Amino acid sequence: MLNPVQQNWKQKLFTIIFEADTKAGRIFDLALLFFILLSLAIVMLESMKSVKAIYGKELVTLEWIVTILFTIEYVLRVISVKRPVKYITSFYGIIDLLSILPTYLSLLIPGSHFLLAIRALRLMRVFRILKLSQFVREGTTIVLAMKASARRISIFLSFVVLLSIILGALIYVVESGVNEKYSSIPQSVYWAIVTITTVGYGDISPITPVGKLIASFIMLLGYAIIAVPTGIVTVELSRSARRDETNTTACPNCSAYGHDPDAKFCKYCGHSLE
């Protein structure tokens, strides 16, 4: 059990780090956004050989300074919540951890620090910081719609995979004798997937009349296939859309966001929000 002094200290730290409604919390979050943007600029500049040749050492130094600051911030986040494991395994917790690992991994794996571009995901906090609750709500709606559509979309994708295998085998039978590009069924299945998704790289194409007829059929089929998952998600979006705005209060127990404006308890862990 923590004594009152420790609890008060942790509560103040939590308010500054996780809440955007206070002056201190807003300053902290805006400073965090600045360093996120700075780190992304450093990664981009470091990938340019002409810039790296002149300012290489300075960029590396800045990168380590930002990484150390993010490391301290991550540790403070873990300390300030009542259930650290809940935060560590949450979406933002994983992103926060992944945003600091590449720099340390670069000591063992050269070039891995370019994975720091994942820090761009941390910019999602701007919706909470600037109190763009409408965007938070719409983002939650999309996530809920995707989750609700996952089973039907997975079944549909399984059907598309089977269809691609069948069409790939068919075009292989038609083209393999006269077209060396269709050298195997896997190669033909690759062509079928590229064609049915309307990507059309053009690296493989049929030359026989029957092959072109099959290709034309697959191209037209591709437009219909694209419409199916779009329709599935659209239906779920209309079902899960809510008019209530989402507040920016973070749960002091699990650090989760996205609660209803009149919520008194966290809808994820049940802890009081007050």
Contacts of 203 (CB under 8 A, 6+ apart): 181
Q: Is the pLDDT of residue 122 over 80?
A: no
pLDDT of residue 5: 56
| pLDDT band at 124; cut points 50, 70, 90 | low
Q: Does domain 4-131 have CATH number 2.60.40?
A: no
The string of DSSP codes covering 94-122 is HHHHHTTHHHHHTTTSTTGGGGGGGGGGG
Positive or negative torsion for Cα 156, 159, 165, 168: negative
Tell me what the mean pLDDT of segment 48-61 comes to: 89
Instruction: Count other Cβ atoms within 10 Å, centred on residue 84.
Output: 15
Q: At what angle do helices 49-80 and 91-98 cross, to 10 degrees?
A: 140
Where do the structural domains in the chain lie, given as residue ranges?
4-131, 140-240
Q: Is it the case that residue 135 has pLDDT exceeding 60?
A: no
CATH 3.40.30.10 fits 140-240, yes or no: no
In which residue are the tokens 């509560």 written? 11
Which of 25-29, 48-52, 178-182, 191-195 has the least mean pLDDT? 25-29
More confident residue, 18 or 173: 173
Two tokens at 33?
């956004």
Q: Whose structure tokens read 């939650």?
A: 140
Give tens-digit pLDDT for 139-177: 667 777 778 788 888 888 899 999 999 999 999 999 988
Rounded to the nearest 10 degrees, the angle between the axes of helix 4-18 and helix 49-80 is 140
Average pLDDT, integer, range 52-56: 89
What pLDDT is attached to residue 243?
A: 47
Note whether 90 and 254 are within 8 A (CB): yes
Residue appearing with tokens 């943007």: 37
